Structure 1
Amino acid sequence: MCAAWATIHRCTLIQHTRINVAFQASIFIREHTFKEKLYENLRGVVSRYALMLIAKEKARVGKCGCTMRRTHGLPCSCQIGRMATIPFTAVDQHWRRLTSTSAPDESQPVLGLSIATELEVIAKMFEEANVPRRQAIKERLREFAYPDQTSMCPPPNKLPTRGRPNEPKCSSRRIPSSWENVDAIAGSKQASNSSAPQGKGCKTRSVKRKSIPLKQSAPKKRSKRIASNTAKLPPQHLKGKVYSANYIHEVPEFLREYVIDIQNVEDDGNCGYRCTSSLMGKGEQNWRQI
């Protein structure tokens, strides 16, 4: 029984936390959909779910049966069409309660709810701060005092945002290299020589040059290697040699005559150190000394 009560208590606490989170979201979150003048008196003081129902009722097309007003205590579509701004009193008290504690009696003065102490601390902080700090405090206070306004201002001049700006002084062309300048000068000289006027009595004869096609060399045929499963045998002058490990067929033929001995070291990732240690005469097992 005690375990069941503990589980029920834990579930109740989770639900209470979710309800408080929803209340805080309704107070502080300002969605873009509800920034119209129609919801000016309801932002931050009415549940977000109620605002969603009002927006859905506003977008509804068809005959209004005033069902929303009778069942939910919210303005229906016919009332919304006649309102420029929905008054705070048009929403039922159920949607205006954004706290999980007991609602205080509005006829009695509220005790313990005052910001006089906080305002004194803020005023003292403002007097002791420097100029940048004062500007920051003032901007934060303006956000609370005037939530519908902003400190941002438009630019003094409308800036062109389309197309590339015209900058005749700056060119995107690269600087030509020295050999390009030489080719350009040589080309201009040849053009001037060909276009120069010739003297009287001088006849020019155009010579037609025959283009001789170059001989295309036949593509080299790659020799096909015949794969064989049998390993190549060592040459005749290596048949008398005896190695520690018979891996001479793995060595290229032009290097086999220089091979003195072959040892097969352990393949544990340190084979290079093992080979070096063995060739230095320290033995394969002393590879850690390398």
Structure 2
Amino acid sequence: MNRNPRSTKRDPSYWEYVDAFHSQQSSNSSVRRSASSSDQPNPRRMMPMLDQFQPFIHYFIDNIVDVEADGNCGYRSVADLLGMDEDSWSLVRTHLLIELGKFSEDYIKLFGGTDRFEDLRMSLHVDGLTNIFNLCF
């Protein structure tokens, strides 16, 4: 493509090329999708307790899990959403401990020092399983 060196017109971005290609492909296509099938959002299922979250965040919520409130509810939620029984919360904590052990140098830098790292690591120990974990790892 020859262009005048004094031209003020910019080159199109990659995304502008892609958009132009797709619009050209859809205009050449003999089968067009109806506006009603592609423009309407998928209906979202009703979720209990959704009204307890701010309306701006509703779009980002895929699932709500109501777990036992015993101080381990965050771990219970993660276990449930990973497809495990919510009583597998201690396994989630154990996997977090293993993660911290494998990449301790990175996490020490991330948390700004050994003291904060050790506080976090000790908070993940499950009562009664601490000695077993220390023996295994």
For the pair shown, the structure with the greater C-alpha radius of gyration is: 1
Q: Could you tell me the TM-score, scaled by structure 1's length?
A: 0.17
More helix by share: 2
Q: Could you tell me the TM-score, scaled by structure 2's length?
A: 0.34
**Which structure exhibits the higher relative contact order, with contacts defined as CA atoms closer than 8 Å and separated by 6 or more residues?**
2
